[in-house]
């Protein structure tokens, strides 16, 4: 029986990472020695103290029933305690924090809670694809905000047309940024909050990478540190990146109590929460966030960053040196589009990277590497790229 997909699916671009995965699997099936520096999924296992906690809590029959819609009270309190210690911001664990099935799920559902058909959502590009797709699912119209190197990969708020702002309801921001690795300054956040209040905008801040930084001096901010931000902001955090828990699917939303409640209302109609045992593991993770094995992850990524950035420069490429995230955003040589260079690396070097155009039109002319492989594989990748003769 033939059927037609819903129009909301027909207007979506192909999901970038699925297409990359398809090409990678085809190359592996052909027996090629693929080095995957594409999708950002940590290569190290979840720390053992977190795995041990899951075994403990999963063996408690009390965790086997439906989870509470508003999340485990102990986890909400642990998030509030951690947030106060990390950012100096006090959150009400009952009203201003909501555990979620990872940050992606929360981001994807949030526009349904606040947008109506005909509203405009301001979406950064290049950017994480769910900002755009979730806006479309909510019946809203995405308006793309280019993130350009000349603006330090920050959106030019003054360039948004007045006619667009009249219909705009929501603005997404993501710092530290995927894919560019840019970080936002306090000055930009102050400007953003004032801009949102002037134009009656809700800010959705994707802060999934705030804990993946390299030096103490570069610790990223939470938008909620800015005076007045809580009036207009909901922020999304993740356990995936700082604790190597990508497959566990645990995160949280926090900020304005009314925005958190609106998201909770959507979620209560579409899911039944996170397995309580995993929520309690989240408490263990947050309480252990200063353990050596967690701090060592930052040192590991810094070593890999330094190795990859130096190596790419040695073979004639121009990487932006990141201060946070585990991505390196690399300018393509003259004459190459992002797809052309990514295809060349796959076909001639058996290296998987991510073409920047897949994150939005302003990403063309760049590719993204992920620091999720061991140093020996980074060295091998550089050796393979060197044979292309890109260096003049």
| Residue 85 contacts residue 292 (beta carbons within 8 Å) | no
Q: Are residues 348 and 253 in the same domain?
A: no
**Lookup: tokens for 370:** 């992920």
High-pLDDT (> 90) share of the chain, %: 88
**Lookup: tokens for 73:** 């009270």
Residue 264 counted as domain residue:
yes
Residue 312's domain comprises 9-39+292-386
For residues 80 and 92, what is the distance between their CA atoms, to the nearest angstrom?
Answer: 7
Number of domains forming the structure of the chain: 2
| Residue 199 contacts residue 165 (beta carbons within 8 Å) | yes
- The pTM score is 0.95
Q: What is the CATH number of the domain that holds 268?
A: 3.40.640.10
Q: Which residue has the tokens 């671009």?
A: 13
pLDDT tens digits, one per residue of 30-85: 889 999 998 888 999 999 999 999 999 999 999 999 998 899 999 999 999 999 99
Beta-sheet pairing, 318-320 with 327-331: antiparallel
High-pLDDT (> 70) share of the chain, %: 98
For residues 87 and 73, what is the distance between their CA atoms, to the nearest angstrom?
Answer: 21
Q: What is the pLDDT, as a whole number, of residue 85?
A: 98
Q: Tell me which of 257, 287, 317 is where a domain ends.
A: 287
Q: Tell me which of 255, 270, 287 is where a domain ends.
A: 287
Q: Are residues 142 and 92 in the same domain?
A: yes
Q: Are residues 255 and 347 in the same domain?
A: no
Q: What is the DSSP string of 215-276?
A: SGGGPPPPGGGSTTGGGTEEEEEESTTTTT-GGG--EEEEE-HHHHHHHHHHHHHH---S-H
Residue 325 counted as domain residue:
yes
Q: Are residues 52 and 14 in the same domain?
A: no
Mean pLDDT of the chain: 95
Q: In Å, what is the CA distance from 205 to each residue of 177, 194, 222, 307, 349? A: 11, 15, 9, 31, 37
Task: Select from 224, 225, 301 the least CA-distant residue to 256.
Answer: 224
pLDDT tens digits, one per residue of 255-276: 999 999 999 999 999 999 999 9
Q: Are residues 205 and 94 in the same domain?
A: yes
Task: Select from 36, 12, 8, 10 the least CA-distant residue to 22.
Answer: 36
Q: Are residues 193 and 300 in the same domain?
A: no
Q: Are residues 92 and 110 in the same domain?
A: yes
Residue 2 counted as domain residue:
no
Backbone phi and psi for residue 41, each to the nearest 5 degrees, phi listed first: -120, 115
**Lookup: tokens for 336:** 């190459």
Average pLDDT over residues 204-218: 95
Q: What is the pLDDT, as a whole number, of residue 18?
A: 66
Residue 273 counted as domain residue:
yes
Q: Are residues 236 and 322 in the same domain?
A: no
Q: In Å, what is the CA distance from 323 to each residue of 96, 246, 294? A: 29, 21, 17
Q: What is the CATH number of the domain that holds 34?
A: 3.90.1150.10
Residue 392 counted as domain residue:
no
The number of residues in the chain equals 392
Residue 4 counted as domain residue:
no
Q: Are residues 28 and 56 in the same domain?
A: no
Q: Are residues 118 and 250 in the same domain?
A: yes
Q: Are residues 313 and 254 in the same domain?
A: no
Residue 121 counted as domain residue:
yes
pLDDT tens digits, one per residue of 109-166: 999 999 999 999 999 999 999 999 999 999 999 999 999 999 999 999 999 999 999 9
Q: Tell me which of 287, 308, 338 is where a domain ends.
A: 287
Residue 171 counted as domain residue:
yes
Strands (E), the chain: 35-36, 97-100, 120-125, 141-146, 168-174, 202-206, 233-238, 251-255, 318-320, 327-331, 351-352, 354-355, 366-370
Q: Are residues 30 and 133 in the same domain?
A: no
Q: Which neighbouring-strand residues pair with 354? A: 368
Q: What is the pLDDT, as a whole number, of residue 240?
A: 96
For residues 111 and 204, what is the distance between their CA atoms, to the nearest angstrom?
Answer: 9
Residue 391 has pLDDT above 80, yes or no: no
């Amino acid at each position: 029986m033939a059927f037609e997909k819903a129009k909301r699916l027909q207007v979506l671009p192909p999901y970038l990472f699925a297409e990359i995965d398809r090409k990678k699997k085809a190359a592996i099936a052909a027996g090629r020695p693929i080095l995957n520096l594409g999708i950002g999924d940590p290569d190290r296992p979840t720390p053992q103290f977190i795995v041990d906690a899951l075994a403990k809590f999963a063996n408690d029959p009390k965790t086997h029933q439906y989870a509470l819609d508003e999340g485990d009270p102990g986890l909400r309190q642990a998030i509030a305690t951690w947030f106060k210690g990390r950012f100096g911001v006090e959150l009400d664990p009952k009203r201003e924090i909501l555990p979620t099935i990872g940050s992606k799920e929360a981001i994807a559902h949030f526009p349904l809670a606040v947008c109506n058909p005909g509203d405009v959502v301001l979406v950064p590009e290049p950017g994480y694809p769910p900002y755009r797709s979730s806006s479309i699912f909510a019946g809203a119209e995405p308006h793309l905000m280019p993130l350009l190197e000349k603006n330090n990969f920050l959106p030019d708020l003054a360039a948004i047309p007045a006619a667009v702002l009249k219909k705009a309801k929501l603005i997404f921001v993501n710092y530290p940024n995927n894919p560019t690795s840019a970080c936002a300054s306090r000055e930009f956040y102050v400007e953003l909050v004032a801009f949102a209040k002037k134009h009656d905008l809700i800010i959705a801040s994707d802060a999934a990478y705030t804990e993946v930084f390299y030096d103490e001096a570069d610790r990223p901010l939470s938008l909620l540190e800015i005076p007045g931000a809580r009036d207009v902001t909901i922020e999304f955090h993740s356990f995936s990146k700082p604790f190597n828990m990508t497959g566990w699917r645990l995160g949280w939303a926090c900020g304005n109590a009314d925005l958190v409640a609106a998201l909770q209302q959507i979620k209560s109609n579409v899911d039944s929460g996170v397995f309580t045992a995993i929520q309690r593991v989240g408490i263990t993770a947050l309480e252990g966030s200063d353990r050596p094995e967690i701090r060592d992850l930052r040192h590991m990524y810094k070593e890999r960053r330094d190795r990859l950035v130096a190596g790419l420069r040695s073979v004639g490429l121009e990487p932006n040196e990141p201060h946070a995230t585990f991505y390196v955003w690399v300018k393509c040589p003259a004459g190459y589009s992002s797809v052309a260079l990514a295809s060349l690396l796959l076909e001639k070097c058996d290296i998987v990277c991510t073409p920047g155009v897949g994150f939005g039109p302003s990403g063309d002319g760049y590719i993204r590497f992920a620091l999720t492989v061991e140093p020996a594989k980074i060295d091998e990748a550089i050796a393979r790229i060197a044979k292309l003769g890109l260096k003049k």
